[in-house]
Amino acid sequence: MANVLVTGGAGYIGAHACKALAQAGYTPVVFDNLSTGHRAAVKFGPLVVGDLMERAAIDAALAEYQPIAVMHFAALSQVGESMQDPARYWRENVMGALNLIEAALAAGIDKFIFSSTCATYGDQDGVVLDETTEQRPINAYGGSKLAIEQMLRDFAPKGLNHVIFRYFNVAGADPEAEVGEAHDPETHLVPLILQAVAGTRGALTIFGTDYDTPDGTCIRDYVHVSDLVEAHVAGLEWLIAGKSSEVFCPGTGAGFSVREVVAAAASVTNGPVPMQEGPRRAGDAVRLVCGSDKARTRLGWTPDRSTMPQMLRDAHRWHGSDGF
């Protein structure tokens, strides 16, 4: 079975990608510094505890496992934190990616899958966001991810073929609850709602109810994590088939407001969601919805678990499990 190096494979999306890779017949080799990831989330292949800031550690992992491709999930990923400490985001995200890209090329690897973000678009309310939309990030997180996209384009002529996925909002958990979402601190809407329902934290605060949307709350495009990682496996197979470097926006095209997610969660959990209304959160875009079907038509991707009730049911099952 061919090995695939999965940086950040102990994290939320990376751990789900490892399961999808294993199911598709690959061996995921996790490279993770465990700063935010969980050792117990690494269930589908070996774990190398290492840091992307150390080129020698990457070289050693590539020499030992000889992967055919790299999936690069590892990153600092909190918008607010990136505004507090932009240097850390620029240093760790960008330098880490540069080390990884150089090491991959030196090891003769020619396939690279990268987790980018709709945060590279900035705030473009009203604009349908797709692969052709101009990127104008408004925070250091989005800026650092855009820099890595550019880096990949610059290295493509050196022989590193790539697929870039610009994520929208990722939710849900493995339907078998082998892995799930466990951030510390938790900042994401769905786990915060489920924890509020379970009473393991206080009421959810809705960040802003005076936006120019039908119910006054922000709108996002949510995709099921299991569907998202299926896109990554399809991206890997796209590169294995010798196809060109591409960018895909794996969204659903459906937008849900914060209040709509809360209402759906109340229905799925059969319980009220303790909540209060609060002020806007700095840096939040009003509406982030993906208008592209390129991933469906070109990659043959079908995000069939990405309905709001299904994402909430799967996340709820995971949150009711023992976790990591």
Active site residue 12: no
Rounded least distance, CB 118 to ligand UFG, Å: 5
In the bound state, the residue with its beta carbon closest to ligand UFG is 218
* 119 vs 164 by CB, closer to ligand UFG: 119
| Given 12, 26, 89, 141, the catalytic residue | 141
Q: Which is nearer to ligand UFG, 194 or 285 (CB)?
A: 285
Least CB distance from residue 70 to ligand UFG, whole Å? 21
Residues that bind ligand UFG (CB under 6 A): 77, 79, 117-119, 141, 169, 187-189, 192, 204-207, 218, 220, 258, 281, 284-285, 288
Q: Answer whether 257's CB lies under 8 Å from 302's CB.
A: no
Residue number, 30 or 261, with CB nearest to ligand UFG: 261
In the complex, the smallest distance separating the C-beta of residue 175 from ligand UFG, rounded to whole angstroms, is: 21
Query: For ligand UFG, which is the closer residue by CB, 48 or 268?
Result: 268
Closest distance of CB 277 from ligand UFG, Å: 9
What residues are annotated to the active site?
Answer: 141
